[in-house]
Amino acid sequence: MTTTLPTDIAPTADTARPPAPPTPATSASGRGYLGLWRTVPRELGYLLPLLPISIVTVTVLQTVFWMGIGMIPIVVGFFIALAALWAARGFGEFELMRLAASGRPRIPSPDWRRRTRGDGFLARVFAPVADGHYWLHLLHGTVVAIILGPFSWSIAITWVAGSLGGLTYWFWSRFLPDAGRDGNVLGRVAHDLLPWVPQSFDLLPLLYLISGVIFAVTLPFVTRGLTVIHWGVAKGMLGAWSSDRLRDEVRTLTESRAAATSAEGQSLRRLERDIHDGPQQRLVRLQMDLASAERQLDADPERSRALIGEALAQSKEALEELRALSRGFAPPLLLDRGLRAALAGLCDRSAVPTRFVDELPAEIELPTEVERNAYFIAAEALTNAAKHAGASSAVVTLRLRRIPDTDDIWLDLHILDDGRGGAAPVADHGLAGIDERLRGLGGLLTLTSPAGGGTELVAHLPLVR
C-alpha cells in the first residue's frame, strides 16, 4: 500500500518531537556580495583571536604531551600524556564551537560518550589511547594550529588594518608631523610614476583611499576564504567520521531488528499464555462436560441435557475469547476498513470509557504494517489503563506531524488516561513490549506518568525517513 502524504502538516506543541536526522546549521549569509558582508563581523570574531588562541593551545598541549613522553620511564608520564589527549579534545571542541559561531555549518562532534563507555572507570579513562579522534585533535592543536592560525591571523589583521587605515587616512594624517608627510616614500614614488601631476598636489590621501577601498571591497572574500579553510581542516580532523555514522547506523539497525524480534517473541508468548489461560481451559472443560453427558445419557437424561447446556455456554465463551484475542492482533475490521475504524471500535469495546479523536487528513493512506502496530499499541495501552491504572476515562488521538526542515513525517498515537499514574516500562510487560515494538520500527515512545497524575503515552511511528 502506498502512502499519500499531505503537505500542510504542521508540528504540534503537545507531544514530544521525535528525533530527526541531524541537519547542518545553515549560515545566515544569504546570497551575493551583500550576503558575504553579513557574516564578516562573525568571521572576524573567529579570525582576530586566532593568534593568542593558537599560542595558548600549542603551548599547553606540546608542553604537557612532551613532558609526559619524557617521564614515561617513571610511569607518571603516561598519565601526563593522557591528560594532553583529554586537553586536546577540549581545545578541539572549543574550535568547533568557534567555527559554528562564525556562521559556518555545524560540524558534528565524535560521539565521545560512546567512545568512553567501558566496563569500568579505568576503561573510560584510558579510552583515548586507542581512539584516533583524540590523536587527530592533538595533531590539530600542536601542529596545524601553530601553522594555520598565525597565517590566517596575519592576513586578516592586514586586511582589516588596510581597510580602516586607508579609508580614514584623511582624518588621522592631519595629526602627523609635516616632515612625516613630506618625506613619505610612497608619495615620492607616486609622483615619479605620475610625472604630470604637480609636485604641490598631495597624492597620499588619494592613494590611501584607493588602497582602503580595495582592502574593504575584498575583505568579505578574504574572511570567508580563511574561515572556510579552517572549517575544512576542522571537518576532516575534529569532526565525526563517515565510518562512525555508518557504524552507528549498523548498530541502530541491529538494535531495531533485535527489538522487533523481541517484541514479536513477547507477543507470541503472551498469545500462548492467553490461549492457555482462556480458550484452552474452556475447551478442556467443554470436553469433560460432553464426555460426562455421554456417560449419563441413558441413565440420567436430565443431567445429560444440563451438562450439554453448560458445554454450549463454555463453547460460546471460548469463541468470544478467541475473537477477542484475534482483535488484539489483527482484527478483520483493521484489515477491511483501516486504522480509523479499528481504533474507533477498540475505544467502543474498551473496559474504560474511551473517546477517539481522529486528526488525520481524510485522504491519508497508511502502510499496513504501521496500522497494525499502531492498533496493537493502542490496545495494549488501553488494557494497561483498565487493569493497572484504575482509570475511569481515556482519550485516544491520532495525528500526523512533519518534522521542520526535513521530509520526515510521523504518525503520533496519543493515549491519555486519568488513572493513578506511576507507570514505567518493566521487562516482559506491556509498556516494555510497546517500547521494543516502536524501536523495531525506528519509532519512539514518550511516556509521562507522574504518581496520581494519570498516564500520557505517545507512540511516534515514522512514515517517511
Burial profile 341-373: b = 16 or more Cβ within 10 angstroms, e = fewer: ebbbbbbeebebebebeeebeeebebeeebbbb
Q: What is the mean pLDDT of the chain?
A: 77
Separation of alpha carbons 125 and 114, rounded Å: 13
Output the pLDDT for position 14: 37
Are 6 and 363 contacting, i.e. CB atoms less than 8 angstroms apart? yes
Output the pLDDT for position 264: 60
Domains of the chain plus CATH, in order, are 1-26+337-465 (3.30.565.10), 32-165+220-240 (no CATH)
Query: Is pLDDT of 54 > 90?
Result: yes
**How many helical (H) and strand (E) elements, i.e. helices and strands, does the chain have?**
19, 5
Output the pLDDT for position 126: 74
Q: E strands along 99-250, which residues?
A: none
Q: How far is CA 165 from CA 5, 158, 176, 186, 261, in A?
A: 59, 10, 14, 15, 71
pLDDT tens per residue across span 157-171: 999 998 998 888 777
Q: What mean pLDDT do residues 374-388 have?
A: 85
| Centroid of chain to Cα 311 | 58
Statement: the pTM of the whole predicted model exceeds 0.75? no
Output the pLDDT for position 454: 85
Higher per-residue pLDDT: 418 or 305: 418
Q: How far is CA 57 from CA 145, 161, 358, in A?
A: 8, 26, 58
Query: Is pLDDT of 120 > 90?
Result: no
Output the pLDDT for position 440: 73
Longest dimension (CA), the chain: 145
pLDDT band, residue 419 (cuts 50/70/90) = confident
Are 243 and 133 contacting, i.e. CB atoms less than 8 angstroms apart? no
Separation of alpha carbons 432 and 49, rounded Å: 52
pLDDT band, residue 452 (cuts 50/70/90) = confident
Output the pLDDT for position 19: 43
pLDDT band, residue 265 (cuts 50/70/90) = low
Please name which of 5, 12, 17, 2 lies closest in space to residue 443, comparing C-alpha atoms.
Answer: 17
> At how many degrees (to 10) do helices 368-387 and 301-329 cross?
120
pLDDT tens per residue across span 312-324: 777 777 776 666 6
Query: Is pLDDT of 63 > 80?
Result: yes
Are 297 and 338 contacting, i.e. CB atoms less than 8 angstroms apart? no
pLDDT band, residue 381 (cuts 50/70/90) = confident
Q: What mean pLDDT do residues 280-308 have?
A: 73
Going 262 to 264 to 265 to 269, the CA torsion angle's sign is positive
Query: Is pLDDT of 179 > 50?
Result: no
Query: Is pLDDT of 387 > 50?
Result: yes
